[in-house]
Structure 1
Amino acid sequence: MFNSTLIGNARVWFDKLPRESIDSYEDLRTAFKENYLQQTKHIKDPVEIYHIKQRDGESMEDFMERYKAEILDVEGAPECMKISGFMHGITHPELIKRLYEKILRSMDEMYRVTTFFLQGEVAAFSHSRKKAPAPWKQPEGGNKPNFKQGFKNKQRSDRKPDRFSLLTKTPKEIFALEKGKFKAPPPMVTPAKKRDPNKYCEFHADTGHNTDECMQLRKQIDEMIKSGKLSQFIKELKQSDKPKAQNKWKRPEKISP
């Protein structure tokens, strides 16, 4: 019952109590009073927000939790000041760039963007650590594999059909014309060090590949075409572009006597 009445800083304090540190209500009351007798003289000025910095070796997740707890002691700070204080305190250049891509209107929105970015980094790291395929093992019976045939099969499997609709404009032009209809893309999985700095994607607002090369943009365009939202950009095949049907039952030439 007691913990359900706590909000704000008091709730954060309660959730961080060590396990099995409270044996009775008296222990809880004593710990609560000791904590808040110390807290009464630690109300911070709004300017103190800009002194909250990410420490050496501190992970982004730990800093975010510490920032949430410390700004509870700050009185009179507007939402925009809390957001700028967080961006001022972190040391991750890629995350800073991502947070500056759009206007953040609340702390909750900023925490969501940060969490989404960190999840993308974890996914990219896991992908890079996937095990390599097992080395070739000679089959039983001593028969040597047909490397030439295997190479042909690989070439055949690598050829993928064009799975996207034919367009009357480039993906970059469509994105520029219909920008408000697109959803935010997932973060790039390629590590920043391996991206091409000379190529810029307007859809991701980041370097690494050109807008016309962006597979995420191309997928969204195709999805919207199928749902009828961008049907005006479908390229219709002319009669001259369609393959001519061959006459299967061609009459044989007359045989001269």
Structure 2
Amino acid sequence: MHLQGVPDEIMYRAFPTTLKGPARIWFSRLMPNSIGTFKELSTQFASHFIGGHRYKKSTACLMNIRQRENEMLRSYIARFNKEALLIDEADDKILVATFTNGLRKGKFLFSLYKNDPKTMSEVLYRVTKYMNAEDALLAREEKPRKKERPEDVRLDRGWKMATIGE
């Protein structure tokens, strides 16, 4: 509205119709005739609600993220990505370096050092492949083994006895 040259009086009257929740309550509590211009209203509004503004973190925050002792790679990447999203314009090289630096020693870290990835998308591709392999191995270990039934043991013993006796 300001770009269209709309007078302050009209913007001032239209402003409350755009407010909801806490902003509407704040506006309704203003003292009558306490604000003279729309610019003054804007300034007061911004200064009152600026505390709710979320500031972007710096890449230095990523240096503190480490894979925990018994933490699966999937959990580490989720925590790392959550923090990385809070960083404004994170450099790919820094993301790769901080992610790699936070990894526990092991086969995956060795494979990253062996074939040095240049971008975070490369790292994520390799992480995905590694996590899928990790999940497959876990599923294999957790698969319940078929219990031998007593008759299977007797049949097996009988077969062995028969071959020994022949």
- Normalising by structure 2, we get a TM-score of 0.53
- RMSD over equivalenced CA pairs, Å: 3.6
Whether 1:147 and 2:160 are equivalent positions in the alignment is yes
Counterpart in the other structure of 1:68: 81
Tell me which residue corresponds to 2:141: 128
Higher RCO structure, 1 or 2 (CA under 8 Å, sep 6+): 2
Could you tell me how far apart the structure 1 residues matched to 2:161 and 2:65 are? 63
Is residue 2:65 matched to residue 1:48? Answer: no
| Structure 1 gaps, min length 5 | 1-25, 152-257
How far apart, in 1, do the equivalents of 2:120 and 2:68 lie? 21
Describe the shift of the 1:149–1:105 C-alpha distance in structure 2 as closer, same or farther (beyond 3 A): farther
Q: Deviations over 1:76-111 (max 9, x none)?
A: 542111011101112252221122231313212211
Amino acid at match of 2:148: A
* Matching residue of 2:151: 137
Instruction: After superposition, give the CA deviation of every residue in 1:25-76 in whole Å (9 maximum; x if it has no partner).
Output: x68x9xxxx8x92412xx3333332122234554422221221121223345
* 1:97 maps onto 2:116 in alignment: no
Identity fraction in percent: 17
Indicate the structure with greater helix content.
Answer: 2
Secondary structure in 2 matching 1:146: helix
Query: SS of the residue aligned with 2:148?
Result: coil
CA contact (8 A) 2:62 2:98 kept: yes
* Closer, same or farther: CA 150–44 of 1 in aligned 2, 3 Å: farther
- Correspondence for 1:111: 124
SS in 2 for 1:73: coil
Distance in 2 between residues matched to 1:134 and 1:63, nearest whole Å = 40
Deviations 1:138-165 (A, max 9, x none): 69xx9x83326679xxxxxxxxxxxxxx
Larger Cα-atom Rg: 2
Task: Name the CA distance, whole Å, in 1 between partners of 2:86 and 2:72.
Answer: 22
Note if contact 1:46-1:76 (Cα within 8 Å) is conserved in structure 2.
no
Distance in 2 (CA, whole Å) between partners of 1:62 and 1:138 is 43
Equivalent residues of 2:69, 2:104 under 8 A apart: no
Q: What is the alpha-carbon distance in structure 2 between the residues aligned to residue 84 and residue 105 of structure 1?
A: 9
Q: Is the 8 A contact 1:44 1:73 kept in 2?
A: yes
Name the amino acid aligned to 2:103.
I
Q: How many residues align?
A: 116
**Equivalent position of 2:52 in the other structure:** 37
